[in-house]
Amino acid sequence: MTKRIIISGSFFIGLLLILLSGVSAQEQSGFALKRSIPGDIVDFTVDNTGNIYLINRDNQLKKISAEGDSLAVYNAINIYGDIYFVDVTNPLKILIYYRDFLTIVEVDRFLNILNTIDLRSLQIVQVKAIGLAYDNNIWIYDELDAKLKRIGFDGTIVDQTTDFRQLFDSVPDPSTLIDQNGYVYLYDSTKGVYIFDHYGSFKNKVSILGWQNFQVIDKFMIGRAGAYFYKYQLGKMDIEQEAVSSDYMNAGKIRITPDKIYVLKKNLLEIYSKR
């Protein structure tokens, strides 16, 4: 079943109400620019303790604290090509995915290698979306089999869904996979969000299209498209929107946490926090 949604002008309170106001971040009463981190940063992510993970143009992964102190550096730069994705859902079990080599590397909080999984050994040869599962195994979407699969760190397939070609008229091509609050979200910006439970049973499809930086925070799906931010709560009829602040318009990536806003611009990561 596809959920139809209606755009609403009203938005939600708290962090995003401040975030999505049209005034400058410096003028917002609740948030201010706390720190700017310069450098050749091409991507970043943030864990639930506030640590920041930076990827530079040389394919080096660096972990810094919320205060900006260097904590660890991952230097296995040229083993598997370019880093495609880093999952820090569990900061003690971090996943580094190399799409070109279909290899997932598990590292500890010091970015030391703990384990490596070669998906090709499982006859899995086309994967874009991966993510840590609720039980600390790994979800992957096998594009050729058109299945969502849960893989153990011993390199075995723990569970898998029905072939999506039997479920949907047109199968998704998700770029993002998130396990959150009992659900697994697959986001395809051209088709929408496909939602499954932890057993791989299909629950719903929500036709929200064209979002960048898709996130799930608690019960809310959040993203941006063009000059607007959007928020949607599963089960509701409305998708809510607000104009993007001018401070964030040129951002290559924005990530929202309960108390901070991270904005990646060219050679600069800006961090806004509550006053």
pLDDT digits (tens, 9 = 90+) for 213-245: 999 998 899 999 988 889 999 888 888 988 887
As given in the structure block, the two tokens for residue 45 are 């992510």
Q: What is the pLDDT of residues 28-54, one digit of tens each?
A: 435 688 999 999 999 999 999 999 999
Tell me what pLDDT residue 13 has. Answer: 37
Using CA atoms, how far apart are residues 162 and 14, in angstroms rounded to an integer? 39
Q: What is the pLDDT of residues 119-130, one digit of tens each?
A: 999 999 999 999
Q: Is the pLDDT of residue 21 over 60?
A: no
* Contacts by 5-10, CB closer than 8 A, 24 or more apart: 5/206, 5/207, 5/208, 5/232, 5/236, 5/237, 5/238, 5/239, 6/237, 6/238, 6/239, 7/238, 7/239, 7/240, 7/241, 8/238, 8/239, 8/240, 8/241, 9/240, 9/241, 10/238, 10/240
- Alpha-carbon dihedral angle through residues 18, 23, 29, 34, given to the nearest 10 degrees: 90
Helix (H, G, I), strand (E, B) or coil at 118: strand
Tell me what pLDDT residue 31 has. Answer: 65
Residue with tokens 């799930």: 216
Q: In this structure, are residues 153 and 137 in contact, taking their beta carbons and an 8 Å threshold?
A: yes
Q: Is the pLDDT of residue 94 over 60?
A: yes
Domain 2-274: CATH superfamily, name plus number: TolB, C-terminal domain (2.120.10.30)
Query: Where do the domains of the chain lie?
Result: 2-274
Using CA atoms, how far apart are residues 177 and 232, in angstroms rounded to an integer? 17
* CB within 8 Å of 125: residues ≥ 6 apart: 102, 119, 144
Tell me what pLDDT residue 9 has. Answer: 44
Mean of per-residue pLDDT scores for the chain: 88
Pairwise pLDDT comparison (132 vs 3), residue with the higher score: 132
As given in the structure block, the two tokens for residue 39 are 């450098």
Q: What is the pLDDT of residues 133-189, one digit of tens each?
A: 999 999 999 999 999 999 998 889 999 999 999 999 999 999 999 999 999 999 999
Confidence of residue 11 (pLDDT cuts 50, 70, 90): very low
As given in the structure block, the two tokens for residue 17 are 């109400």
Using CA atoms, how far apart are residues 274 and 186, in angstroms rounded to an integer? 31
